[in-house]
Structure 1
């Protein structure tokens, strides 16, 4: 059964609409800035925040006061996607919600600990538990539209939102739902992952220029940079979408998800399990590598992470494909990284041009595939592939075709 993508929504450091997101991608806009919590004695910390976000545009006052920012981002992205799909009233029993997150309500927990340190037990907000739990993003989406279909939260590190889209697709294909709101979100991970990446040696602290921090696929890459935001897509049975005359942005063709089983934070340096995930998605799609015109890579800008993915893309595609990473634009958005990759691929389908890898200027000589730098690169494609590879060996890949 074919599953169509009929709506898109995003909250990102590049903007809070799909057109703004796409324009920022094409312009190679880098949103990095110095983190206000950075300890200068320990070195500079950079991140890519969502700015000027007003939750009141999407949530009532009670929901806003009782929700963490990660959930607010998710509701906002979902609202944008539902509006974009023009779907009208969602069938409450036949609409699924599947949302991925990595850090969930971490910011709420940070603030609660700070309140406790300053004022003791009585200073802890009463809604801490409800605000921090990972399923509250999906839950608030279901509450917003009074939905009673499948409701699921996925937490597979940086692969979370790609797995969410893949699982939501399976729900539709197996008859559990006709429509799904799927995607991912993260917020508190900016603070924690930025600082822990520095402590762990994954993020450079001696860079004066924020635009030079994250350099995916560059021979001089030195580390990852945190980012926050959310993305959502509306998935529908193709015949359901056609019956209501929906605009169809893409077709989810194939999905692969498997374990690297190698190391808590580093991929197998041979890239063999990233290759396996990509090939699994292609087999599921009934396509081979020659039929895929672009790859939205995971491309975090870490020396070991990029090295394994370069080997994998070389092995699967050779010189036949163009690939890009958006981590230089928006940082590593963790639970939202995969869905932002999907939105990037859909933008490429619309424009027939692959956004550049922002910040990167000197490509790793091991790369055999094409990487646009500075400006979008023209591509001819009927399908693209998105990778998301997370800690604990969470490997996911998705193939999406032109409608």
Structure 2
């Protein structure tokens, strides 16, 4: 019988090795943003593991690492097993890489057992899902699914480097991005393993759950423009304080989400005050707004209402306001048939079949536009994610590995 615990030890050892590669020179935290030297070193390490497994391995124009196990069947379609290997700043070890390295272990097992599949299996390590550097998400999977928008090539990072330049600097090729897409007619489906990033499985002590849907999200950048002035000489009623307006809006967004509930969340996670000083009234404040909901109507209502509230705050305080939509992603329902197979695999492994809605975005979102897509969530420590405290228990990973292997067997049998 397969020793999933030994295989899990191997996976977690690789996770630990990959986590030593970071933009943080001290090694205290994990940060590997898209296109950075640390990202490239980490990808090189994962590529060496792909190649050692015997996969047909290549890098595409956006820097995705792609390993293919070809089927001997004529006209076979491609089933994609994937996650991402970029991280947020000050990240944990598991968000993204765990799915990639569990996928690699599954493929290694297929190769070692000399199993012939009725479909091509392509393992992908996407180069950018988090969108930290260029404030856009799913760059890697959008290229693979043919949804990449060429206008994004002119987007700049905090250092003024364009995405086009970053791609060139990392040895990629912006001109090949359209050709790197896997045509829709060649897809069989998409499957992603990922930590839950929430506390439901942790509290219920269930190791794995199928994902039924992924929340839609809208990201906005707000710029409040007032008048900078001396902190000691401008009377309070005469001030045009951009930060005070931003603060009022942040609390208004929090109150709105609390009042409306039903899966709606609103977050301001980034704030910048140009030319800030302790004795200067802020003349400008720039911040993010992240809205998410599994209900498209609720998401649209929240967006419209909060934009109106921001405009009212700016008018009352005599400020200028720029409201820029940075990203919109519609809610996505996972594929019923793939979830049926995944549910069978969970039950056959002896676990309760739970369905969860993901509040976080995943590469399954663009994949779902071209193919049946599903995900499995793995229990993680207290649901903590995007944080160095992010952790998993080996027993939960082993359980998820068993379920994923059963799922691939069910898929193989279905298409045989």
TM-score (norm 2): 0.24
TM-score (norm 1): 0.24
Structure index of larger Rg: 2
